[in-house]
Structure 1
Amino acid sequence: MTTHNERRLLPWSGLDGKPCYLTIEANGGYLSRLADQIESVQLDLAAELLEHAFEVLGDGEVGQDELRCLTMDMTGALRDVHRVAISRGRRLPPMDPPAWEGDDEGPRLPAVAFG
């Protein structure tokens, strides 16, 4: 299987805070499987945190400290989910453009659609 990008963005950073990459192996080696497991945990934690956020924000008596803590947790989860999305997106094969792309005429809508 040919991949779009031969390097995988890992779900952790190096000691210097820079992104870590792994050369993609055809059979999925140990580090690749470990990265899959960590991504799964990160996505599960983000989903749980999202549920918690709805509960906290629905409480009319939530304090500033709790909101600050929730915001910090949500920021970290968003960072992790964003990294997972980038990593997985880079591993998708290139797609053929839609059939309508490149059509100079574009979609045809009646004039009433524009008010």
Structure 2
Amino acid sequence: MIVHHGFQATLTALPGRGGELAELLLTGMDEGGAAASEHCVVYLVSRSASDPDVVHITEGWTSEEEHERLFRGEAAQALVSRISGLLACEPVHSDHVPVRGKAVFGPAAA
């Protein structure tokens, strides 16, 4: 599948809760979550190397319409509600469309 819509968001957790925020974002890939959809081609959660409370999420979707449809779903809205309680400030978003690249993911590092 090809990515036609994507974005990157930077989220800052309340002090000491960056790991919890990252783990919660990863649940978006669980069965029934928006990121488990075939329309979600990229779902990458990263933590800042210099600030453990800063978490980045990069998503790539087959279309903006599919992203919006799935984001309006019950599972996604429940996740957003849980995430908002961990945030120190509003997330910063930037829209993008990947041109080309590579992603290989394995188990999380210990």
TM-score (norm 1): 0.28
Larger helix percent: 1
Structure with higher strand content: 2
* Greater C-alpha radius of gyration: 1
Per chain length, whose mean CA-contact separation is higher, i.e. which structure has more relative contact order (CA < 8 Å, sep 6+)?
2
TM-score relative to the length of structure 2: 0.29
